[in-house]
Amino acid sequence: MLKTIKNILAISLLPILILTQSSASADNKTEKSSPQSFTLDQAIDYALANNPDQQVAIERIGQAEAQLGVAQSAFYPQLTARVSYEHSNNPAQVFSMIVAQRDFSINSITDINNPGYRQNFRPEIIGKLSLFRGFQDYQNSKAAELGIDAAEYERSAVHNALIEAVTASYYSYLASIEAQKVAQDAITAISSELKHTKLKYEAGTVLKSDVLSLEVQLAEAQDAQIRAANGIELSKTSMANLLGLSAHQEFTVAPSSSILIKPKLTTPFKDLLDQALTQRPEIRAAAKQVEIAQAKLKSEQGAYLPKADAYVSYGQNSQNPGFSSSKENVTAGVTVEMDLFSGFNTQQRVRAAERKAAEARETERKTKLAIEQEVKTAFLKLEEAVSRLRVTEASVLSANEALRLVKEERRAETVTVTRYIESETARNKAQSNIIAAHYDALSAEAALKKAIGDWK
């Protein structure tokens, strides 16, 4: 049976291989660029390098890394440079300026209540270091680190889904090619028989109904050919989208040796499910989101604790712009503060973080349930496809033999054209079924690999 299906697929793919080789020969003779040709492995590699979803996932990893840098910046000193200018006749401020400028003397202010106007230039550098913020900085940094891990797992999920989508589109394209070829062969065979039957009808040896039956059969074959041609274009459009190609970019699809491999189902469902729950990146990403939500909750709860900062300021005060070491001033200190009442702001932020953590836990549970269903569905579809493939292999042999016998009887004029049509239809349907079953099995196998996270 396996040899039979290999022969059928190999013979049916021969025109595609010849076309591919002819295109390659033409390329060697001319300098004109030709459309890219993709085998399955080449299509997957190209999609992973050019698909927008993959690039978006990579950019999100970069964003997560930047967020980690933002969170870790809280552990470093903060330096600020600034210049201020004041002009005032306020007695308290004027007196402060005189002292800060180190110009105070007993005669500095003849009338302290009316000191006149004075100006002050102050260039300074201010340094600040957070000593304690209720562990908020630590928890924010931890959440950012977990965010990178989550983004990595999300990229793996895109990688896994993209390979399955490209594989399914690739097999759909080749299946449509084969369906079109079967339909074209049917059109050729029926057209030939219709031509002979019309001659016999004109000679009065067959009935008009025989001619009409063949015309109906020809119309059905032509309808199948049209649907197959449309299927080719739809599959190619889907592939172009996955490959990240624009609508005007041409490409061709080349057969791969993998299409001759007969899919098998040898691993029990329980083992497949355990494998999926262990290695599916979506589950790991959801688990990381739970940890992130917990870290952010602890960060919000840290707002109830006091905060401590150390600071230092270095600058000078002068009536004129410039710098003089004799007028420099240095201030250093530590501040401790604690919110006693924030209008319930802290309480509501903690409450929102608690709900976010609960949402993350439910999302993780939902993800696990969805993956269990996906694995079960993929397992059953592959099981069905493998069974269908076994049945269609036997039907092709029977249909070919039946058509051969009917053709001999037809030449001997011992059977009606109706019987011939039935045999021809059965053979064409059997060939279409085996091709569809084979590619369905290959696609189902790819879907199961995606479901268990085989392509990470």
At 386-403, the pLDDT tens digits run: 998 888 888 888 888 887
Residue 58 confidence (pLDDT) above 70? yes
Measured distance CA(247)–CA(453) in Å, rounded: 31
What is the Cα–Cα distance from 193 to 403, expressed in whole angstroms?
13
- Read off the pLDDT of each residue in 372-384 and give the average, rounded to a whole number: 95
Which domain does 144 fall in, by range?
Answer: 2-451
Residue 104 backbone phi and psi in degrees, to 5: -75, 135
- Strand (E) positions, 292-357? 307-316, 328-337
Backbone angles phi, psi at 306, to 5 degrees: -70, 160
- Cα separation, 436 vs 114, in Å, equals 101
Does residue 2 surpass a pLDDT of 90?
no
Mean pLDDT, to the nearest integer, of 67-81?
94
Q: What is the dihedral of CA 220, 221, 225, 226, to 10 degrees?
A: -20
pTM of the predicted model, to two decimals? 0.77
- Cα torsion for 316, 322, 326, 329, to the nearest 10°? 10
Write down the pLDDT at residue 16. Answer: 43
Report the number of distinct structural domains present in the chain: 1
**If you write DSSP's letter for every residue of 113-168 in order, what string do you get?**
T----EEEEEEEEEEEEEEESTTHHHHHHHHHHHHHHHHHHHHHHHHHHHHHHHHH
Q: Give me 165's structure tokens.
A: 């989508």
Q: Above 60 in pLDDT, residue 22?
A: no
Element holding 84 (H helix, E strand): strand 78-88
Q: What pLDDT score does 59 carry?
A: 94
Residue 4: pLDDT above 60?
no
Report pLDDT for 1: 44
Mean pLDDT of the chain, nearest integer: 86
Confidence (pLDDT) at 29 = 39
What residues form DSSP beta bridges with 85? 121
CATH code of the domain covering residue 11: 1.20.1600.10
Task: State the average pLDDT over residues 305-324.
Answer: 88
Q: Alpha-carbon distance 232 to 351, whole Å?
A: 54
Tokens at 181, concatenated: 């070829």
Q: Which residues 6+ apart lie within 8 Å of 339 measured at CB? A: 303, 304, 346
CA dist., res. 382 & res. 181, Å (int): 26
In contact, 174 and 259? CB cutoff 8 Å: yes
CB 154 within 8 A of CB 105: no
Q: Is residue 456 part of a domain?
A: no
- What is the end-to-end Cα distance of the chain in Å, rounded? 34
Average pLDDT over residues 281-310: 95
Task: Check pLDDT > 90 for residue 81.
Answer: yes
Three-state SS sequence of 351-419 = HHHHHHHHHHHHHHHHHHHHHHHHHHHHHHHHHHHHHHHHHHHHHHHHHHHHHHHHHHHHHCCCCCHHH
Residue 30 is predicted with a pLDDT of 39
- What is the pLDDT, as a whole number, of residue 204? 82
pLDDT of the residue at 456: 67
Q: What is the Cα–Cα distance from 368 to 451, expressed in whole angstroms? A: 12
Whether residue 19 lies inside any domain: the answer is yes
Return the SS3 of 429. Answer: helix
Kindly tell me if the per-residue pLDDT of 374 is higher than 60.
Answer: yes
Asked whether residue 359 is domain-assigned, the answer is yes
In a domain, 420, yes or no: yes
Amino acid making up residue 385 = A
Per-residue confidence (pLDDT) for residue 155, from 0 to 100? 94
pLDDT at residue 76 tops 90: yes
Q: Which of 173, 164, 176 is nearest to 235 (CA)?
A: 173
Per residue in 178-219, pLDDT (tens digit) is 888 888 888 888 888 788 888 888 888 778 887 888 888 889
Mean pLDDT, range 240-246, rounded to an integer:
91
Give residue 103's pLDDT: 83
What are the pLDDT digits (tens) for 118-144? 999 999 999 999 999 999 999 999 999
Q: Decide if pLDDT at 348 tops 70.
A: yes
Tokens of 157: 């999920």
Q: At what angle do helices 269-279 and 417-451 cross, to 10 degrees?
A: 50
Token pair for 443: 């696609």
Cβ 255 vs Cβ 17: under 8 Å: yes
